[in-house]
Amino acid sequence: MGDSFLTLDDLPPGGKTVLLRVDINSSINPETGALLDDTRIRRHAATAKLLAEAGSKVAILAHQSRPGLLDCVPLERHARRLANLIDRPVKFIPDIHGELACDAVTNLKVGEIVMLDNVRFDTDEVTISSWNGEDFTPQADTALVRNLAPLADIFVNDAFAAAHRCQPSLVGFTEVLPMATGLVMERELRKLGGAIADGPTPRIALLGGSKAADSVAIARHFLSQGVDEILTGGVVANLFLMADGIDIGAPSTAYIRDHITNWEQVVADAEALRKEFGDRLVVPIDVAVSEEGLRHGLPVSELPTKYPVHDIGIETLVAYLARLEKAGTVIANGPMGVFENLEFATGTRELFTAIADSDALTVVGGGETTMAFTHMGLADRVNHVSTGGGACIAFMSGRLMPVLEALRHSKKRFDEGGYEK
Ligand code: 3PG
C-alpha cells in the first residue's frame, strides 16, 4: 500500500497545520440530537491523537448525514465525544470555511485540535459531487479549498467510509496539499485489500444479504483476485439458484423482480459468473421457507415452493461450517437470511459465530453485515470490521473510488516534487 499512497511516514506531521478529513457520520437520535453510536468516532480518535501528540495543529473536516434529513446536525456533540475519547480539548467551530473557521485554523497552537462544522451545510459540498473520471478541478474550484488550503501544510484523508464520494472536502485539496492516509484509511486498505488478495489460503467469502446486484460484482472481483470459494446465502443465493435455471417459487422470484433494478441483467451476470467459475461459487443444497411465519426446511431439489425462502437450510449450514473450518481467511459480507426474525436467524447466527470463533484471518464488511455482527455481540471477535457501508461495497467490488484515486494522484505529484510547500 505504501507504494501507491503517501502515509504519515512520508509526511511527518510535527509542527505542521493538518487538515484531517474523517468520516464520523453516526446514528443520531433526531429528537434529542444524542449520538447513538460512536464507533466511527472511536476509530478516528487514534488518528487525531497521533497527530496532536506528534505536535501538529489539527483542523478536522467531517460530514453528518445529508441536508434535509433530521440528523443533519452540527458537529458539536461529535467534537465533545472525540475530546472525551482522546482526553484533550477539541474545540468545535460553528463555521466551515468562513472568517471564524479561518481564524481558528490560523490561531491553532502545537497539539491543538479544532473541529469545523458539518461540511454538508456547504452548498458546493453537496452539489459538486460527481466525478468526471479524470481530475478534481470542479472540487478544487470551491471556497472551501480556496480559503482553507493556504492555511494548511498537509491533508490527511482518513475518511475510508466516504472514499466512494467525490466531494470537495474529500478530493478538492489534491492539487494543492500533499495528501496522506490516516490510521483508519491505512488499516481499512491493508485489512480489506490484504484479506481479498493476500490473505492466508484457502480464502473463503460468505456473500449474502439482499443487495444482490452488488454481490454479483463483489463475487466477480473476489474470484478474479484469487478468493478460492464463495458461499452464498440470502437473496444472493436465490439469485444464483435462478441463474442455474431453478424455479425458487413465486414469492422469492417476485422479491427479486421487485427489489433488484434491472434484475434480468443481474441474473444474466450471475449465470455468466457461474459458468466462468463453476463450483468456486457455492449455492445452498437446502433452504428454510416461512410457512405462515414458521420455519420449514426443504431440499433445493423440491423447489419451487409457494412460501418465501428466508434462510439457508441445515444441510447447507453443516456444509458451509465444514468449509469455514478449513479457511485461512474469511471475508463476510451479508447475512444468510432474515436474521432479524429468530426463526430464520439460524444460518446467519451459526456461521457468524463460527467466523468469530475461527483462527482464520477474519474480515467483516458492509453496513448490514456489521450491524448483524454487532447485534449478535460478535464484532469484537473478528480481526477487522470495516467502518464503511457503501464504501466497503465499492471497494469489495473493485470499483474506482475517487478518494483512492486522489491519494494515488497526490503520491505521484509529491514524488515528482509538484507541491510548493
Ligand atoms: C456512510 O455513512 O456510508 C458515509 O458516511 C457516506 O455517507 P453518504 O452515503 O451520505 O455519502
The sign of the CA dihedral 74, 185, 334, 211 is positive
Mean pLDDT on 307-320? 98
Closest CA to ligand 1's atom 2: 25
Mean pLDDT on 147-163? 98
State the Cα angle at 38 between 34 and 40, rounded to 5°.
Answer: 135
User: Residues enclosing ligand 1, CB less than 6 A?
Assistant: 23, 25, 66, 161-162, 165, 389-390
Atom of ligand 1 nearest to the CA of 388: 3
**Confidence at residue 175, expressed as pLDDT on a 0 to 100 scale:** 95
Which cell numbers hold the place of 195? 484479506
Residue 132: pLDDT band with limits 50, 70, 90: confident
The identity of residue 28, as a single letter, is: I
> What gap in Å lies between CA 26 and CA 266, rounded to an integer?
32
What is the tens place of the pLDDT at every residue in 65-89?
A: 999 999 999 999 999 999 999 999 9
Mean pLDDT on 250-267? 96
Residue 420: pLDDT band with limits 50, 70, 90: confident
> Which of 28, 37, 40, 63, when mutated, tests ligand 1's pocket best, judged by the most ligand atoms within 8 Å of its CB?
63
Q: How far, in Å, is the centroid of ligand 1 from the Cα of 180?
A: 21
Whether the predicted pLDDT of 2 surpasses 60: no
Whether the predicted pLDDT of 421 surpasses 70: no
Mean pLDDT on 358-371? 91
Q: Which residue from 261, 32, 13 is spatially nearest to 154, judged by alpha carbons?
A: 13
Q: How far, in Å, is the centroid of ligand 1 from the Cα of 25?
A: 7
Mean pLDDT on 306-332? 98
Model pTM score: 0.94
Whether the predicted pLDDT of 30 surpasses 70: yes
Q: Which residue from 407, 404, 405, 352 is spatially nearest to 380, judged by alpha carbons?
A: 352
The sign of the CA dihedral 344, 382, 164, 200 is negative
Whether the predicted pLDDT of 180 surpasses 90: yes
Which cell numbers hold the place of 355? 467466523
What is the tens place of the pLDDT at every residue in 111-127?
A: 999 999 999 999 999 99
Whether the predicted pLDDT of 1 surpasses 60: no
Q: Which helix (H) or strand (E) holds 203?
A: strand 203-207
Mean per-residue pLDDT of the chain: 96
Mean pLDDT on 158-186? 98
DSSP string of 383-416, one letter each residue: SEE-S-SHHHHHHHTT---HHHHHHHHHHHHHHT
24 secondary structure, DSSP code: -
Whether the predicted pLDDT of 204 surpasses 80: yes
- Name, in order, each residue with C-beta under 8 angstroms of 402's C-beta and a sequence gap of 6 or more: 131, 136, 163, 164, 165, 166, 170, 171
Query: Which stretches within 110-190 are classed as H helix?
Result: 123-127, 137-140, 143-148, 168-171, 183-188
Atom of ligand 1 nearest to the CA of 159: 5
Whether the predicted pLDDT of 313 surpasses 90: yes
Cβ-in-10-Å burial (0-12, 13-18, 19+) of 126 comes to: middle
